Structure 1
Amino acid sequence: MAKALPKPKCKKCEEKCGKGKTSPEVLAQLEAGYEKLVDSDSPSMLKRFLTKEIFDKLKYKKTSFGSTLLDCIQSGLENLDSGIGVYAADPECYQVFSPLFDPIIEEYHHVKATDKQPASDWGNAATFGNLDPKGEFVISTRVRCCRTIKGYPFNPCMTEENYKDIESQMQAALKDLPGDLAGTYNPLTGMSKEVQQKLIDDHYLFKEGDRFLQSANACRFWPTGRGIFFNQAKTFLMWICEEDHLRIMCMQPGGNVGETFKRLIAAVAEVQKKVTFVTSERFGFLTFCPTNLGTTIRASVHIKVPKLSRDMDKFKELAGKFNLQIRGTGGEHSDSPDGVYDLSNKRRLGLTEYQCLKEMYEGITEIIKAEKGAK
């Protein structure tokens, strides 16, 4: 059995990620981890794209936040069954460690090295109607986007003070939202286990990260700086310092995509009046996970497809045809034994916000047709 890698002590985080050379300790962990990766049968993109030449080129590099290659790949080194295996430790990582990130992003998002992210275009939400007016298949609809606040790293390099600062900024920004966006901020610190579990069970609140996020150092200082904002109807929510600095989302029962999307457009417009976000000409909005770049839009439904899901290989093939991603309703890496799945647009980079919604809307329409016709 492969020996587990020692956990990084992350001294640089205690020193607020000061600049400097990669430490001997980190280099030793990188060398040990890379040897373990090469000797494994890992299916991850990390293994395919982190060649010895690229590894040797990047292992000494650091961003101005102090992030090293280890901060970006430690989850993939620890979890050899990862699909991607790479996270950005701060926004600069996409440039500093580009020989690794670029080919992963290009393959995952089906973009070319010369492509640039189109300008934001939310389009007309009224274009989208109700996917399932009779309520036979779609249980709920959710549309979310991620945002990074300028001046801060991502989780692996964030200090406890960083988490508190972001939480404080967002409490102020969310204080006077208009109309049906108005609500309350609820910090995880001090929240009872019973209240937390009820919010989790109702699919409103996030849980502490899974093993992939734990290994990426995405759950340090938990639950400091983490929390959830929601309006009275719980149709507009914001997660503070979960995977990303912000996850802004709108959700409601049933399949009315247009209503849900319209509310998100209004929410994002209000928040960005008060907070500056990090963007890139090539990758759009920069996020912790490279799968969430571009618009960062994830439009999803919880949908009952008991017939299609009897043959998961065929179901995945069909979903892939429409650029849809299948997850369990408990989130990524979860199962759905009851035939209810979370289906969402897979592509977020190289498209506008409107195009992301259109791809999801048309794909789910075809999935419903297929479920109706399945025997």
Structure 2
Amino acid sequence: MFLPKIHIRQLRCLPKQLFLRQFCKCASQVPPEVLEELEQGFEDMKECDSKSLLKKHLTKERFDKLKDKTTPTYNSTLLDCIRSGLKNPDSGVGIYAPDPEAYSTFSDIFDPIIEDYHGTYFPLCGMEKDKQQELIDSHLLFKEGDRFLKDAKATRYWPTGRGIYINDNRNFLVWVNEEDHVRIISMEKGGNLGAVYERLILGENQLSKQLEFSRDKRLGYLTFCPTNLGTSLRASVHMRLPSLADDKAKLDKMAAKYNLQVRGTRGEHTDAEDGVYDISNKRRMGLTEYEAIQEMYKGIRALIDHECQEAAKACKK
């Protein structure tokens, strides 16, 4: 019986102290002939019909910033990283790391190529404003400038270290360092609450294999804001409430009755847009995740029933 061949690889870089010394260079400055080859190679690449990630991301500004740099220990140059891509315009990527330090020394070119190839992560630092606004309008990205977080010193060094991971379907994402270290989000249009919750659990389980979340026996999961302690789960629905939008006091009263929290379309401390509110469970401590979701569901049903009744009354008039 013929058995298929299985080939599994693991790729690793050696730590500095184990790197073969005979491959290290002695010079600390980029030799003139290397700079000349770099300049010529860069000009040739601009003229060729290459589809490589190197050509896509190696702008003139980045090139000029990196061409005179060398790695601290091994003195590798930009040419060592991109020589193959310059000589092979049909390369898909076009860059290699000659030593472990290259990823930090030449991060200005490695980082955008890595992000482009591997997908999902969008760092806030350096993100174009139009891209940032597109993600915000799609309710995928958090907004900056929250005065409450600012006064709590939660926005120091903004936007450094902030970003989001998004899957291809744009229905699962992780916010990094917005308010807490991570905020795990599952979302989709429609009313399939079970599918949204199942996706959240699957994603959280995968992250838990790599991350250890802070948890207290009494308080539950520890979060920056004490309102999120306990399960830390917030289940919400964006919905238009034309009747209750005209009577905010009544909306707040019904929300309190069913332990709901009413927010604006773009989250806390924002206004509703076109009568659309963000309605979520208010309690996260003293009940299970399932109970929290059920509480939100029952409250939402009550709001919908009220809107239907008001609409029926209007039709009779």
State the TM-score, normalizing by the size of structure 2: 0.60
Distance in 1 of aligned mates of 2:274 and 2:131: 25
Query: Which whole-Å CA distance do the structure 2 matches of 1:250 and 1:205 have between them?
Result: 13
Report the equivalent of 1:31: none
Aligned to 1:213: 149
SS in 2 for 1:351: coil
CA distance in 2: counterparts of 1:347 and 1:271, whole angstroms: 24
Q: 1:318 corresponds to which residue? A: 254
Secondary structure at the aligned position of 2:126 is classed as: coil
Q: How many residues align?
A: 196
C-alpha distance in 1 between matches for 2:123 and 2:269: 26
- The answer on 1:252 being equivalent to 2:164 is no
Q: Are residues 1:287 and 2:223 paired?
A: yes
CA distance in 1, matches of 2:182, 2:145: 15
Equivalent position amino acid for 1:217 in 2: K
User: 1:125-274 to 2 correspondence within 5 Å?
Assistant: 184-274=120-210
- The CA deviation at 1:183 is 5.6
Question: Secondary structure of the residue that 1:228 maps to in structure 2?
Answer: strand
Provide the C-alpha distance between the structure 1 equivalents of 2:234 and 2:183, rounded to a whole number of angstroms: 10
What is the CA deviation profile of residues 325-372 of structure 1, one whole-angstrom value per residue up to 9, with x for unaligned ones? Answer: 000102111111521100000000111111111111111111111110
Structure 2 CA distance for aligned equivalents of residues 213 and 337 of structure 1: 23
The answer to whether residue 265 in structure 2 is matched with residue 339 in structure 1 is: no
CA contact (8 A) 1:188 1:227 kept: yes
> d(CA) in 1 for partners of 2:133 and 2:224?
25
Once the two structures are aligned, what percentage of the paired residues are identical?
56
Residues 229-268 of structure 1: CA distance to partner in whole angstroms, max 9, x if unpaired?
Answer: 0000100000000000000000001121111111001000
Q: Where does structure 1 lack aligned partners over 5 or more consecutive residues?
A: 1-170, 176-181
| Root-mean-square deviation (Å) | 1.6
4+ long deviations beyond 4 Å: none
| Other structure's SS at 1:307 match | helix
Q: Using a 3 Å threshold, how does the CA distance of structure 1 residues 294 and 209 change in structure 2: closer, same or farther?
A: farther
Query: Which amino acid is 1:200 matched to?
Result: I
Tell me how far apart the structure 2 counterparts of residues 276 and 298 of structure 1 sit (CA, whole Å). Answer: 20
Contact persistence 2:265–2:273 (CA under 8 A): no
Q: Distance in 1 between matches of 2:273 and 2:195?
A: 30
The answer to whether the aligner puts 1:328 opposite 2:279 as a matched pair is: no
Work out the CA distance in 1 between the residues paired with 2:162 and 2:254.
37
Q: Which runs of 5+ in 2 are unaligned?
A: 1-110
Identify which of 205, 229, 235 aligns with 1:299. 235
The answer to which structure, 1 or 2, has the higher relative contact order (CA under 8 A, 6+ apart) is 1
Amino acid paired to 1:291: T
Match of 1:357 among 287, 293, 297: 293
Cα contact 1:209–1:218 (8 A) shared by 2: no
Q: Report if aligned partners of 2:123, 2:162 keep a CA contact under 8 Å in 1.
A: yes
- Return the offset for 1:186: 1.2
Tell me how far 1:291 sits from its aligned partner.
Answer: 0.5
* Cα displacement (A) at 1:209: 3.9
- Name the counterpart of 1:85: none
